[in-house]
Amino acid sequence: MFLGFGFGLRNSTWKSRGQYSISQCQCPSNLRATKKGRRTPRTTVSTLNDDVLLNIFDWYRLYNTTDEDQGWNLERWWYKPIHVCRKWRHLILTSPTRLDLHLVCTYGIPVEAMLSHSPPLPLIIYYPEITGKISAADEESALFALQQRERVRRIHVTAPNAILCNLFKAMDCEFLMLERLALHSLTESRTGLVLPEKLRAPLLRHLTLSNIALPIQSSLLRQAGGLITLRLWNVPASPEFHPAHLVAQLSGMSHLEILMVHFYTAIPKRRIASAAQPTPITLPSLKVLAFRGGSTYLEGILARLSAPLLSMLNVEFFNQLTFDLSHLLQFARTTGEFRFRSAEIHFDNDFVSVIVDPHPEPTGTNPFLVQVKCRPLDYQAACAAQICHALAPLLAGVDSLTLGFHKDGSASWQDEIDHPLWHGLLRTFAGVKSLRLTGGLVGDLFRSLQLDEGELPLELLPGLRELVPSGWGHTDDAFASFISARQSAGRRIRLVRN
């Protein structure tokens, strides 16, 4: 029996006898008449050679993968085709590498029974929690699959600590074929689970850990020289996890492209032990660096790191009063991928963001982003001012600045305006020619930034030529006195209504 896979070939239809006709294929022995009386070639799927069939199977399995939680059939696309006919069965099962065949151990699958009746294909252990919860039977199946360590190629498990602890006992060894490892603990804590110390995976390419710590003695990263992505989410705040320790484990990763380190809480500065003057290592392939934590830890990483091809740097700081970002400035100078031609500063309910050269929507990503979690408006302004002052040599060339005010409510804003603070922030952008104001009640806030004389000091934004307000709650008269004063001083400004 033939099954309608939906191969997507043009001018193709299923015949009632179970034959798949493809009008573009050439087959002189099988002709059919057209409306104009011509005889055109026709073939059936049974006459396609092995190479054509393999190409069709290759197309069919696209996007059908467990990588990054993609795919509609969890790598099991080939289960039905092998029952179509003997030829297909033989072709698929004798091409496991070409077709990247796997057996998937997942929810509801009796793994021991499956392995006893299946070819010795590589295994994927896949319990991501998005499709269900691990039962006691699933846990037993996962443990049995982990015992076949010479066949395990990918592991993706999201579970509570109690289940992960049992699985870790079976993972305290070497997995020679393991290429992807993603472990997520559903139990958040300041201490967290610790990855098995003896776990080894020399072929590892992608590692994701959430609420799970790497043991100091582990050689997992040192041996995984081919690692491409490393994501450490909600890392427990341990003083032993010093920036020098992390960077040392990255030293041999010439293929690393994505590095993300997000702490559960910030490690206090006093608990990050001092170290000798570091010798920076180079990650020649690194393109994305994302960090969440304290500025002291980030500075410790950047002081030891060089990434000439970096094209995205996203940083989120926890609530803190002061920032020392000297190494961030030096690091941004040496990457060569950031242009620093435009900037945005957004004040939201819970955080303030400084974005350089923002990507237009709908990408949703920004190449250079520094964000601080805090709530009071003047506190946000102080954080933004410190960040901008630290990056002042790079921001001198910014000619387009956007200030976005997206906080709820407006009654308290008037009382929160500290003129020297806000004016100090604006002084960082002496080269700005276009100023955009977005969000609710931007007119009220802009009016609050002005002095009693009704305008910003002339030394602020001296090159401003264009003012573009947008959002709601603003009127042109909020900017009239400012524009009039600048024009009286011989500095013409154009008001653009957006």
**Is residue 383 over pLDDT 90?**
yes
Nearest to residue 293, comparing CAs of 225, 243, 362?
Answer: 243
Is 136 in the same domain as 242? no
Q: What is the pLDDT of residues 140-150, one digit of tens each?
A: 999 999 999 99
Strand partners, 466: 434, 494
Query: Cβ contacts of residue 196 below 8 Å, gap of 6+?
Result: 168, 169, 171, 172, 173, 215
Strand ranges inside 80-166, DSSP E: 103-105, 123-127, 152-159
Domain that holds residue 266: 225-333
Q: What is the pLDDT of residues 12-30, one digit of tens each?
A: 333 333 333 333 334 344 5
Nearest to residue 194, comparing CAs of 219, 164, 221, 222?
Answer: 164
186 touches 159 (CB < 8 A): yes
408 touches 439 (CB < 8 A): no
Residue 487 lies in a domain: yes
Is 329 in the same domain as 396? no
Residue 51 lies in a domain: no
**Is residue 473 over pLDDT 60?**
no
Residue 187 lies in a domain: yes
Rounded Cα distance between 383 and 388, Å, is: 9
Domain termination residue (choose one: 310, 333, 356): 333
Residue 89 lies in a domain: no
Is 320 in the same domain as 348? no
Is 441 in the same domain as 492? yes
Phi, psi of 127, rounded to the nearest 5 degrees? -130, 75
Q: Total domain count for the chain?
A: 4
**Is residue 176 over pLDDT 90?**
yes
Rounded Cα distance between 483 and 498, Å, is: 17
Domain termination residue (choose one: 195, 216, 237): 216
Rounded Cα distance between 333 and 391, Å, is: 10
Higher pLDDT, 38 or 285: 285
Residue 344 lies in a domain: yes
Query: Cβ contacts of residue 345 below 8 Å, gap of 6+?
Result: 352, 353, 354, 355, 384, 388, 401, 402, 403, 404, 425
Residue 197 lies in a domain: yes
Is 327 in the same domain as 342? no
The CB density around residue 199, as the number of other CB atoms within 10 Å, is 20
Is 426 in the same domain as 406? yes
Is 34 in the same domain as 126? no
Q: What is the pLDDT of residues 97-136, one digit of tens each?
A: 999 999 999 999 999 999 999 999 999 999 987 666 899 9
Burial class from Cβ neighbours inside 10 Å (0-12, 13-18, 19+) for residue 477 reads exposed
Q: What is the pLDDT of residues 336-369, one digit of tens each?
A: 678 889 999 999 989 999 999 887 655 567 899 9
Is 387 in the same domain as 486? yes
Rounded Cα distance between 395 and 343, Å, is: 8
Nearest to residue 473, comparing CAs of 429, 436, 437, 449?
Answer: 437
Upper half-sphere CA count for residue 472 (Cβ side, 13 Å)? 6
H-type helices in 190-231, by residue range? 220-223
Q: What is the pLDDT of residues 410-449, one digit of tens each?
A: 445 555 667 788 888 989 999 999 999 887 667 666 766 6
Domain termination residue (choose one: 194, 216, 238): 216
The amino acid occupying position 136 is A
Cα–Cα distances (Å) from 405 to 214, 269, 348, 471, 477, in that order, read 40, 32, 7, 9, 19
Cα–Cα distances (Å) from 472 to 36, 112, 279, 295, 404, in that order, read 66, 63, 52, 35, 12
Higher pLDDT, 29 or 485: 485
Q: Which pLDDT belongs to residue 356?
A: 92
Is 321 in the same domain as 353? no
Rounded Cα distance between 423 and 243, Å, is: 35
Is 294 in the same domain as 153? no
Cα–Cα distances (Å) from 422 to 288, 380, 419, in that order, read 32, 10, 5
Query: Cβ contacts of residue 378 below 8 Å, gap of 6+?
Result: 416, 417, 418, 421
Higher pLDDT, 52 or 62: 52
Q: What is the pLDDT of residues 214-251, one digit of tens each?
A: 888 889 999 999 999 999 999 887 767 888 888 989 98
Is 106 in the same domain as 146? yes
Q: Which pLDDT belongs to residue 452?
A: 54
Rounded Cα distance between 210 and 33, Å, is: 63
Average pLDDT of the residues in 152-181: 95
pTM score: 0.85
Residue 277 lies in a domain: yes
Average pLDDT of the residues in 393-398: 92
Is 256 in the same domain as 280? yes
Residue 86 lies in a domain: no
Nearest to residue 459, comparing CAs of 491, 412, 417?
Answer: 491
Q: For residue 60, give both structure tokens.
A: 């069919």
